[in-house]
Amino acid sequence: MASENKSSSKAFGFQLLLDLYNCRPGVCDDIALCYQFLDEVVESLGMAKQAPPNIFRSPVDQFPDKAGLSGWAPLIESSVVIHTLSLTNFISIDIYCCKAFDVEFAKDFCRKFFSPERMDEQYIERGVDYYRTETNYHSLSVDKTDAPNPQITLTGKQSVNPG
């Protein structure tokens, strides 16, 4: 695996959203190929599967404009999701993980599998305040063992004695 995407802050999770336009004909309907993608992308990015991938074909008779596949690989760290639209050779892929991963490698991996003419991307750091201890939001705890002078403690602040 190549170098991971580096961030200036510590986030809870990292999400790569990809839109693949005009993919190679036939890939949006190829259930075996899309399953293989979900199975292999997880290992290739150094992630851990919680269960084998699941993939489903949309009922064409009920939703003709949504013909294609939807699938996901549940991860210990989150998930990888794929949706295809066969009529337009369009694929959307979401890779969400609670540990940093190599974004460029992930994009190249998707390109090799589906050969899109164009690929748009969005990269999001999720839960950027999850690990912060210095915020405007504090917990309040009261120790009543010293009543009538209870000790009040604000997280991130000094203890206060109201008495």
| Structure token digits, residue 58 | 């949309």
Q: Is 112 exposed, middle or buried (0-12, 13-18, 19+ CB in 10 A)?
A: exposed
Task: Render pLDDT for 106-116 as a digit per residue (tens, 0 to 9).
Answer: 999 999 999 99
User: Cα 34–28–111 angle (5° rounding)?
Assistant: 70
Fold of 13-126: S-adenosylmethionine decarboxylase (3.60.90)
User: What's the CA dihedral at 110, 20, 58, 63 to 10 degrees?
Assistant: 180
Task: Render pLDDT for 49-90 as a digit per residue (tens, 0 to 9).
Answer: 999 999 999 988 888 888 999 999 999 889 999 999 999 999
Query: How far lies 153's CA from each of 62, 130, 148, 160, 161, in Å?
Result: 59, 21, 16, 6, 9
Q: Where along the chain do the CATH 3.60.90.10 domains lie? A: 13-126
Contact 102/1 with Cβ under 8 angstroms? yes
| Structure token digits, residue 80 | 């990888």
140-143 vs 151-154, strand pairing mode:
antiparallel
Q: Higher pLDDT residue, 86 or 130? A: 86
Identify the CA nearest to 16 among candidates 112, 118, 120, 87: 120
pLDDT of 12 above 70 = yes
